[in-house]
Every structure is written in C-alpha cells, then in structure tokens.
A = this chain, B = another copy of it.
Amino acid sequence: MSVTLERIETAPFGAATHLVCRACGAHAKLGADYSCWECFGPLEVAYEFGTVTREQIQSGPFSLWRYAPLLPVPANIAESRNLAPGMTRLHRADNLAKALGITGTLWVKDDSGNPTHSFKDRVVAVAQSAGIQLGFNTLACASTGNLAHAVAAAAARAGQKSVVLVPSNLEQHKIQATAAYNGHVIGIEGNYDDVNRLCGELIGEEVSSNWGFVNVNLRPYYAEGSKTVGYEIAEQLGWRLPDQVVIPVASGALLTKVDKGWREFVQLGLVEDRPWRVFGAQATGCNPVSTAWSQGNDVVRPVKPDTIAKSLAIGNPADGPYALDAVRRTNGAVGDVTDAEVIEGIRLLAECEGIFGETSGGVTVAVTRKLLAEGLLDPTAETVIVNTGEGLKTLDAVATGNGFSATISPNVESVAKVIEGA
C-alpha cells in the first residue's frame, strides 16, 4: 500500500525562509540539515511572517494546522494525508489545585488526546511534511517510545515506510503498540543516547539514504511542531498568556519551543505582552538540566539515565542549554523528583482530575508540588502544567497486583462486604 507523495513547488515550507544557527547566527538554506556548517551549532527555522490574525487562525481546522502560517509547512497541509494532531483539551484543574495548595487558577494541557496519545504527534506531523518536500520516502527516528509510536502511525497513514530505532529495554506497551503499524521497529542494545548516536551515523549511509529522521536530519522542522502546544494554550485561554507553565524536559525542545511560540504570538500582536515564567521538570534519575540549573552552570553535563520516566531519559539533551536560557530569562526554575514521587504524581493527577498521564505527566505534577514547596512556583498565580503522554503506555509504573479492589461472587452481600470494609 503506497501513495504518491506530493511535493509542492510553491512555498513548500510556508513562511519559512531559511535555517539559522542558534549558536553563531549563520544562515543555511531550507534542507535536510541540522547542524551549522560554520560552527556545528544546531539549526533552527527562520521565517518572514506576514500578518496573521486571530480570526484567520480561528477559521482554520480544529488541529495544529490552524497554525500552518506559523510553521514550515505548505499552506494546504490540512488537505494532505496525515493524522491531524493537536487542539487537545485544556482542563481547568480545581481539584488538583486544591491538593497542591494552589490558590490561583491551575490548568492541565492534556496532550494524551493526540492520535497516538502523546505530544510527539505534533512534531512528527511537521517533520513528515518537510520530509516529503525534501524527497524522503521513509520516516525514521531515534526514540524513547512515544516518538516511535507517532512515527509508525504517521507513516502508515501517509502510505510511507517507517524505521524506528529504540533502546531495547523500553516499556513493552510502547513497543507492541508501535509494531501494530507494520513498520520496522528495531531494538538497539544501549540507551537512548546510543540510539541517537547511531542515527547520526546512519545519515549519508546507503541503507538509509532515503530516510528522513524526524529528530535528526529533519530536526529543525520537527522541533517547530512543539510551538503549537504554546499556541494552543494561549488561544484556549482566550488569547492571553498564563503567569507560569511547567513542562517536562527530555531533549528540552518542548520547553524551548513553547516559550518561542509565546514570543511569536506577542510579536504578531496575537496576545498582550506580559511576563511569563517557564519551569522545567525532570526525573532525578535523569536530571542533567535540573542539575545545571541548580548549580548555576551554563553547560549541561551528560548523565547516564536510570528512571522509570523513560520518555524523559535523555542523558545528553540536545536543547538543554536553550531550555536553561528560557528558564533563566523568564525567572523560572528546573526541579527533579524521584521515581516514587513520579508514581505519586501520576496517581494525584488521575484521582483529582480523571487524567491518567504517563510517567512524564507524573514527573510534571510531582515537580510542580516540589517547586511550590520550595517557594519557586507562585501558588497564587495562574499556572499551566503540560501532560505530554498517556498512562496506558506506562501502565507498569502504577500497576499493583491484579488491579482489583476485590474479586467476589456475583451477589449483593459480597458487594456490601467490600464497600463496608473499605
């Protein structure tokens, strides 16, 4: 089963004009490049936005493609065969606020509502478009699980092949779900940083010459997809920015791009300019950005991950320094929590709000609690926390026994005993 992938000759990358090095500012043309030819710094997409209005966005599709004018994608992207992620629910979280001692308004941006139930559908959708425009016929990635799932699904829907490379010790739920789409799911003996290094080595090799690695050679486009989390929060709050946001940190790209998205909204006059604070959340078992923040370092020193929060287990985060920049510039902070606290965080979110997040969601809730206790988050301010994934994918983290309160015979007396004994 395959489809003709359409390449668009006019403005295949929308308002994007070139790539720019985030380290030295050198320019490169829009292509499958991810590091600067001058200094090896990371490349980012640059744009010349025209006028973009709230009305224009609101009249677009109910997906991340309503923000197409702000992404490196063709204007008619919504008509192509893709999973149309985005516009996930922003829930007001009064029960959780009370449990955490937050007196300001608390919101949960729940990205488990995406097609494969993590925010990765967003970045894959943008990278997939760029890959098609650049002539790749296979969608590939290095992944800690959620990205693999998103890539395999997006490729299937577009009629593309997929190859995902993941650490072989990943959660079985994520692997088996990814395998359902019938792409290549390759387990690598090593951790995520080993997998990532391998993908870098594959660039330019014959076996992978037609592969667009969403988070390697398509990374500049990919990362832009994360801006839409920020855009949506602002639009869903009624075109305004919150006081504080708490975001889980793996590579650091999501945090960096939410902040970038808000700066763009301000620049375009879509929201009022006002100060906001960006907070990062990591697991103690993989806390390179948190450590750098608390020690006041500019350099993020790599660590060897050891945590149940495998979707955040990137020991050498590509965007770590930029995440630190955003946190420091906005007067935020980065915290980390133990695996036991992660599990408490998952349970608290589920019990209070009916949202069953994956381990990264538990990290975010638990770090929020910790930063409140440390006086770093303001309990009286309006706060948004981001749940990036789905608890069904990391069930083992919270599974206890067979899950039942009790197993009984089908009669009223047995039910009464369970309830009265509780």
A-side interface residues toward B, CB under 8 Å? 1, 3, 62, 81, 83-84, 87, 89, 91-92, 94-95, 98-99, 110, 113, 115-117, 152-159, 163, 165, 168, 172-173, 175-182, 184-190, 194-195, 197-198, 201-202, 205-208, 346-347, 350-356, 390-393, 395, 398-400, 402-412, 415-416, 418-420, 422
Contacts and interface: CB of A to CB of B under 8 A. Distances in A.
A351 B99 contact: no
Contact of A180 (B117, B163, B194, B350): B350
A189 B407 contact: yes
Given A94-B81, A116-B356, A186 B408 contact: yes
A411 B404 CA distance: 45
Contacts of A188: 407-410
Select the residue from A206, A347, A351, A356 with max chain B CB neighbours within 10 A. A356
Contacts of A422: 184
Contacts of A194: 410
Given A89-B84, A186-B405, A400 B197 contact: no
What's the number of copies of this chain in the assembled complex?
A: 2
A323 to B, nearest CB: 26
Nearest to A193: B410
B419 A207 contact: yes
B175 A403 contact: yes
A238 to B, nearest CB: 13
Given A391-B180, A415-B202, A353 B189 contact: no
Contacts of A92: 81
Nearest to A154: B354
A206 to B, nearest CB: 8
The 3 nearest A-B residue pairs measured at CB: A157-B354, A175-B403, A153-B354
A187 B402 contact: yes
A356 B180 contact: yes
Given A163-B419, A402-B187, A62 B83 contact: no
Contacts of A395: 173, 176-177
A78 to B, nearest CB: 12
